[in-house]
Amino acid sequence: MLELLRAKRRTVRKIFIAEAQDASDVLDAIEFEAQRQRIPVSLISMTRLDREAKTEGHQGVMAIAQDLDTVTLDDLLRVAKPFLLVCDGVTDPRNLGAMLRSADGAGVTGVVLPRHRSARISPSVTKTAAGAIEYLTFSDVGGIPSAIDQLNRAGVLTVGLAGESKDSLYKLDLGSGPVAIVVGGEEKGLSVLTRKRCATVVSIPQVGRINSLNAGVAVSVAAFEVARQRRASS
């Protein structure tokens, strides 16, 4: 909520705060920022907030705000040396939220999401992302395989993540040019068509007995490896 107000990328029409909450620095900061931006604030019962918020983790506050704007894939490619996250059928909202939080931290310049058979930017995703959605740029596309084709033609290195791959993420040059990290769904991973379209498919080497990482963790590791290599090459 506080990042929504600070980012100022979306119009916030009204804020609701549950009555009879313990005082907190975060609530004070939200009220202060809302007053500064002349956004109406209403106190309502916790029961009503539970009903209206559409998430169990609202933490006693809710905003009515403009929907997130999306851009075209071409728009994402206009950024100097794009660094993209492409989500191929990620259906768990908390997983998607964790990926977006890592994406923002690593400096991802754009996120590509499919319009169908995927988690959307919901209240649960927003909460898990801890404000990251307010700073990321999103493109929703009809199909991930065709989007990857477009990225390949534009000179973007499309890197699929798959735990069973014999090729290591750490052997790639991820710092010198445009790159897109492509992650699949939680259960089935990358779809067959998506895997075929990726320029390369790699794994993250591990030394433990469990041979695959949670999709959100894999994205975090891969994204920060791109960030590390970019810093080293700059």
Please report which confidence band the pLDDT of residue 91 belongs to, taking 50, 70 and 90 as the band edges. Answer: confident
Distances in whole angstroms, Cα of residue 182 to Cα of each of 44, 56, 219: 42, 30, 8
Q: Give me the percent of the chain exceeding a pLDDT of 70.
A: 96
pLDDT in tens, 119-128: 878 777 887 8
pTM of this structure: 0.85
Q: Give me the mean pLDDT over the 55-82 stretch.
A: 86
Note the pLDDT of residue 198: 98
Note the pLDDT of residue 54: 66
pLDDT surpassing 90 at residue 148: yes
Distances in whole angstroms, Cα of residue 176 to Cα of each of 70, 94, 155, 209, 229: 27, 32, 12, 33, 8
Bridge-based pairing state of the strands 200-202 and 157-161: parallel
> Which domains, and CATH codes, for the chain?
2-65 (3.30.1330.30), 73-233 (3.40.1280.10)
d(C-alpha 42, C-alpha 94), whole Å = 29
Q: Give me the mean pLDDT over the 67-89 stretch.
A: 94
Name the CA dihedral angle for 195, 150, 200, 89, rounded to a multiple of 10 degrees: -40
Q: Which helix (H) or strand (E) holds 150?
A: helix 144-153
pLDDT in tens, 106-147: 999 999 999 887 787 877 788 788 789 999 999 999 999 999
Note the pLDDT of residue 56: 62
Note the pLDDT of residue 171: 96
